[in-house]
Amino acid sequence: MRKLLLFMHKIRFKMFVIILACMLTVALSISLIAYRYITDLLTEKQMSQMKSYSDRQSEQLERILSDIKAPLGQLAGKLSETDQSREGVTRVLRMYQYSVYPFSRGMYFIAPDHSIYETVQTTVLPEPFMEKLFNGARTSWTSLQTAGPYQSENKGLVLTMAVTVYRGMDIQGILAADIDLLALNELIAGMNPSPTTSILLFNPEIQPILSSVKVRQDEYSGLFPQIQNYLQQDAGGFHPLYAENGGEFVALFGSPNSQDWRLASFVGKQDILAPVTQLRAYAIYLVLFFILLSLVISFFLARYIDGPISGLILQMRRIQKGNLGLRVQLKRKDEFRTLADSFNVMLDHIGELIDDKLRIEKMKKQYEFRALQAQINPHFLYNTLNSINALVDLKRTDEIAKVLHALVNLLDYSMGKGEALTSLRNELQGLRHYVFLQQIRYQNKFEVHFNVDDELLDYSLLKLTLQPIVENAIFHGIKEKRRGDGQIIVGGKQINSRLVQLYVADNGTGIAPDRLAGLLDPSNSDSDSDSDADAGLPRYSSMGLRNVHERLQLQFGDAYGLKIESTEGAGTTIIISFPAVKGAPADGH
């Protein structure tokens, strides 16, 4: 058992399993893709045929209706010219009795008193249908009305189609023709050669007029309500149907014709996919063959690869003791030689990374020191003291204590204990002191609004991240605006469990596109730079945004930092991204 476990941990066994799994995955994927492709192709072909047959049937039905409507309209015009007597009406009917042949089972005239005039007294029209025809004649000017279908005692299954006979605006009666539905059904159904596709024609009341159903009665009874439901929703195109026995069908609903009749056809999915059954058997044989072939290939391939890997592992173990000066030597000229060379290059890179790590940590400390030093400089102190002097001249001595208090707190926060990180709560408090001093200096020329969610206040942030950005907004964004017009918004929210974003938005002058592209680029030297910048550091803007961006990336990684969005003349928004981590050291306040 132990030997079996040891063998299962060997690279040979793992490679055998991986290669076998890959080959089987490819074989099964190809088989599945081919099966799905053919299935979709057959389904698309069947649906295309259904659509073609349905369009032809709709066109033929429309021609039949036109052939019925035209002579009925002409005959109605002739009848309106008669004296409406039985003799006059029957004489005209006799002249045009074959005008709607071959589907007509007789034409007749219905007088307003519901009397029926015809050449041969054979028609018995149910009273509800007669009322429907007269109601339709009184409420609409529709040129062609339908009633039925219904079972006539002597004509069989018929559908009555009628036009109203007018004299001026007065209704003189209704001219009707009984249409042989069996003949019409035989013609329409004969246009669909598919032995599995069923057809239904519905009137505006969603009752079937014609039908050619090719499924069992128990299946049809469950499908018919679904078809009616789709028609009530004015559905068009293809839709699924489900039989009670679990069978699935595809239905096609056509557009309404001139009489608002709609054609629906449906076919079972098993009939569509019948040719796939034989293909499935071939696919199973093909998969079994690939399984056997994969077993053989995987075994020999794993054995071939395992030999040089074992030799490579043996040499690598000599380096496990920690002597990074050793290098792997392999006398092969294939990919395993490349692997050994890559391992040697990796050892070289590890040494370089160790040196880079030490250099980056040193640069990080330098950046932090210079960032802290840059925020409270003699120029800022000079302007603050001038603001205090101006308050004395204006006899606003009661505000001097507030200015000094804010200055002391800002100095205390900025110099602090020297920690790199602080809480967002402390960062915002220091920012408020800075904003207060700048509002005193510029006599409330601008307003600053804070819109930061309370749940973000305990997250850790680099000290003096927001102050340089707000300072940039004041000096380069809204300094030239009229008093009270400047607006700065400091906000933020948590994007997800790992990311927090703050933003500083102003309504200032904005940034030109050509300058915006290079603001955060270390290779761009068009920013204010300290003349005494260290030779080992990139050029550095003491008041700029690049310092904050580079400090964030040095502290948290390249995925974080600043993003600048600006429209010239409309304002600037700077987005600060940093990880959602709590537990910054206290600042000693």
Q: What is the pLDDT of residue 85?
A: 82
Q: What is the pLDDT of residue 264?
A: 92
Q: What is the mean pLDDT of residues 420-435?
A: 88
Give the separation between CA 206 and CA 260, rounded to whole angstroms.
Answer: 10
In the DSSP assignment, the letter for residue 246 is: S
Tens-digit pLDDT profile for residues 381-399: 666 777 777 777 777 777 7
Specify which residues 488 forms β-bridges with. 448, 506
Tens-digit pLDDT profile for residues 465-492: 898 899 888 888 887 777 767 899 999 9
Give the separation between CA 380 and CA 521, rounded to whole angstroms.
Answer: 27
pLDDT at 410 over 80: no
Q: What is the pTM of this model?
A: 0.45
Q: What is the pLDDT of residue 230?
A: 92
pLDDT at 376 over 60: no
| Residue 124, helix vs strand vs coil | coil
In the DSSP assignment, the letter for residue 576 is: E
- Find the Cα–Cα–Cα–Cα dihedral 325, 326, 330, 335, rounded to 10°: -50
Tens-digit pLDDT profile for residues 72-84: 888 888 888 887 7
Q: How confident is the model at residue 366 (pLDDT cuts 50, 70, 90)?
A: low
Helices 11-80, 276-316: axis angle to 10 degrees equals 150
| Residue 528, helix vs strand vs coil | coil
Q: What is the pLDDT of residue 452?
A: 92
Q: Label residue 42 exposed, middle or buried (CB < 10 Å: 0-12, 13-18, 19+).
A: middle
- Tokens for 62, please give them: 């429309």
Instruction: List, in order of start, the domains of the chain with CATH numbers.
Output: 194-272 (3.30.450.20), 358-579 (3.30.565.10)
Q: What is the mean pLDDT of residues 170-191?
A: 84
Q: Label residue 473 exposed, middle or buried (CB < 10 Å: 0-12, 13-18, 19+).
A: buried
Q: What is the pLDDT of residue 527?
A: 46
Give the separation between CA 546 and CA 475, rounded to whole angstroms.
Answer: 16
Specify which residues 147 forms β-bridges with. 160
Q: What is the pLDDT of residue 537?
A: 33
- Please provide the DSSP assignment of 315-331 as one string: HHGGGTTS-TT------
Inter-residue contact 505 to 488 (CB < 8 Å): yes
Residue, of 532 and 500, whose pLDDT is higher = 500
CA dihedral sign of residues 313, 318, 320, 324: negative
Inter-residue contact 179 to 103 (CB < 8 Å): yes
Q: What is the pLDDT of residue 428?
A: 93
pLDDT above 90 covers a percentage of the chain that reads 11
| Residue 25, helix vs strand vs coil | helix
In which residue are the tokens 């003791």 written?
321
Residue, of 320 and 545, whose pLDDT is higher = 545
Kindly report the average pLDDT of the chain as a whole number.
79
Q: How confident is the model at residue 540 (pLDDT cuts 50, 70, 90)?
A: very low
Q: Label residue 347 exposed, middle or buried (CB < 10 Å: 0-12, 13-18, 19+).
A: middle
Residue, of 355 and 432, whose pLDDT is higher = 432
Q: What is the mean pLDDT of residues 402-416?
A: 78
Q: How confident is the model at residue 538 (pLDDT cuts 50, 70, 90)?
A: very low
pLDDT at 573 over 90: yes
Q: What is the pLDDT of residue 578?
A: 94
pLDDT at 57 over 80: yes
Give the separation between CA 224 and CA 220, rounded to whole angstroms.
Answer: 6
Q: What is the mean pLDDT of residues 498-525?
A: 83
In the DSSP assignment, the letter for residue 582 is: B
Inter-residue contact 266 to 223 (CB < 8 Å): yes
Q: Specify the range with the lowest mean pLDDT, choosing from 1-15, 52-66, 178-192, 429-443.
A: 1-15
Instruction: Of 195, 191, 238, give the one whose Cα is nearest residue 64.
Output: 191
pLDDT at 377 over 60: no
- Tokens for 332, please give them: 């092969």
- Residue type at position 174: I
Give the separation between CA 474 and CA 238, rounded to whole angstroms.
Answer: 63
Give the separation between CA 338 and CA 344, rounded to whole angstroms.
Answer: 10
Biggest CA pair distance of the chain: 124
pLDDT at 451 over 80: yes
Would strands 208-212 and 237-242 be described as parallel, antiparallel, or unpaired? unpaired
Tens-digit pLDDT profile for residues 313-362: 776 777 777 666 777 776 767 777 787 788 788 878 877 887 788 788 77
Inter-residue contact 231 to 206 (CB < 8 Å): yes
CA dihedral sign of residues 241, 245, 247, 249: negative
Specify which residues 199 forms β-bridges with. 212, 265
Q: What is the pLDDT of residue 476?
A: 81
